Amino acid sequence: MVKNKTLLLMCAAAVTLQALVAGINLALPQLAASDLHPSGGQLVWIVDTYVIVFAALLIPAGALGDRFGRKGVLIAGLVLFAVANMVSALAPNVAVLETGRALAGVAAALAQPATLALLVNATEPRRRPQAIAVWTAAMGMGGMAGNLVAGVVLRWAGWSWLFALFVPVALLLAAGVAAFVPRAPRHHASLDPAGTALLTGGVFALLFGIIEGPGRGWGDVAVLGGFGLGLLLITVFIAYAARASDPLLDPRVFRIPTVRAGALGVGFGFLVLFGLFYVNAQFLQDVKGYSVLVTGLAIAPLAVGMGLVTRRAVPLAERFGARWIVGAGLGMIALGLGALSTATASTPYGIYALYLLVTAAGMGLCTPALTHGIMTGLPHARAGLGAGVNSSAREIGAALGVAIIGTVLNSHHALRSTADFTAGMHFGYRLLAGGLVIAAAAVVAMWRPAPQLAAL
């Protein structure tokens, strides 16, 4: 019973943290018309501050949980998440709202790696693949839940209520974790202040460039500066960590084939998923003419597809091999994107929903094996670090997906000087599908079981 409660609470926490990534997008029209009077650039940062801080801190936050206790770090993260969303809900101006979003990103970074690490600790080895599969499905469905919840809340209440809703949810989750989740043993993990500063700064700078690129233009000085600084800091971090006696993240972890392939596959999978979220909300509202509530409900096939297929992904991987299940799953996602690239205003929703189901089935098939490959490639004592690597790949992939599809749509509109949204959507989906096929081939080629690096 305790293990079932742990699984339920860890998945609920993962859904909650991911829901805030996607749900805010539906609130943008209300925010733009609100008394806060945000500019276009400020609207972008209201959305992206959470994602940037969240992604940049995931790996050091995972190490923090390994060292000081994953349960305590998770509870602290959930309580801070509640406080941050109350700040956002009551924000009298844009600066306070962005501060609340940044605090929420810190909180999410503390909490999310701990959810997976605690779940792995509380589950006996033979049942871990299935538990990880359920958790990965929850992560994927978090974005869908965010769209659904936002659609319902915004239909009958203002944008501030969307943030306020997360306050009691986070506090209830914190209470549940305190009462029912067993503590995991603490393990040595280096907090490595110098390495943390280099890695966090590098990821932050790269994400700044990725997120600002579509709006400012990829040749903008600030965007190029973000990329340049990010690559410089990460290069320095790799050189430093390779020589440090106790680094935050040993670069050798990416010599483990399943860790390297798993991070690449997870990153590309969520690149596609969040690119889809970005386009889907605009397509259903602007092209199909759906209300914000119906748009939130119309994403349901993604949740259904992932939920149904994830349950079968583990036995299929055991029977046919994780390598081929990962390849098949990524291929199905590409197939779904290709089908979505044919959708127009006249496409019946039933057909569109079928395309979403195919895409979701691919996600449900491959993500459990990808995450399991990352987690089992590292020693059990470094579960928090493994969860941080896994989550970082997800969040960076999500940011890239929105940036790529946003750039394609903006460029297509500029070239045609008309609001021909579906033509840009078609090209964007086909671009993502082609990239995913290449990524799938790379993941399958590099995927092979390998012993853990015992020194890590």
In terms of Cβ atoms closer than 10 Å to its own Cβ (0-12, 13-18, 19+), residue 125 is exposed
In terms of Cβ atoms closer than 10 Å to its own Cβ (0-12, 13-18, 19+), residue 171 is middle
Asked if residue 451 is part of any domain, the answer here is: no
Nearest of 233, 229, 231, 232 to residue 198 by alpha carbon: 233
Looking at the chain, how many residues does it have?
A: 456
Question: Residues 37, 151: one domain?
Answer: yes
Question: Residues 58, 70: one domain?
Answer: yes
- Write down which residue in 247, 272, 289 finishes a domain: 247
- Write down which residue in 219, 247, 275 finishes a domain: 247
Q: What is the rounded CA–CA span in Å between residue 231 and residue 11?
A: 34
For residue 369, the domain's CATH number is 1.20.1250.20
Q: Which two tokens stand for residue 335?
A: 């197939």
Given this model, what pLDDT does residue 201 score?
92
Given this model, what pLDDT does residue 328 score?
93
Q: Which two tokens stand for residue 75?
A: 């509870």
Question: Residues 201, 330: one domain?
Answer: no
Question: Residues 33, 162: one domain?
Answer: yes
Given this model, what pLDDT does residue 451 score?
54
Nearest of 148, 185, 140, 176 to residue 18 by alpha carbon: 140
Asked if residue 440 is part of any domain, the answer here is: yes
Given this model, what pLDDT does residue 381 score?
67
Judge whether 295 and 281 are in contact, CB under 8 Å. yes
Question: Residues 238, 253: one domain?
Answer: no
Judge whether 32 and 158 are in contact, CB under 8 Å. no
Given this model, what pLDDT does residue 413 score?
59
Question: Residues 323, 434: one domain?
Answer: yes
The torsion of the CA quartet 314, 320, 324, 326, rounded to 10 degrees, works out to: 0
Q: What is the extent of the structural domain holding 33? A: 2-183+248-446
Domain count, the chain: 2
Given this model, what pLDDT does residue 386 score?
77
Given this model, what pLDDT does residue 356 score?
93
Asked if residue 453 is part of any domain, the answer here is: no
CA distances from 442 to 375, 436, 437, 447 (A): 20, 10, 9, 8
Low-confidence ranges of the chain (pLDDT < 70): 1-3, 188-189, 381, 412-420, 449-456
Given this model, what pLDDT does residue 418 score?
43
Judge whether 154 and 295 are in contact, CB under 8 Å. no
Q: 380-396 burial, b for 16+ CB within 10 Å, e for fewer?
A: bebbbbbbbbbbbbbbb
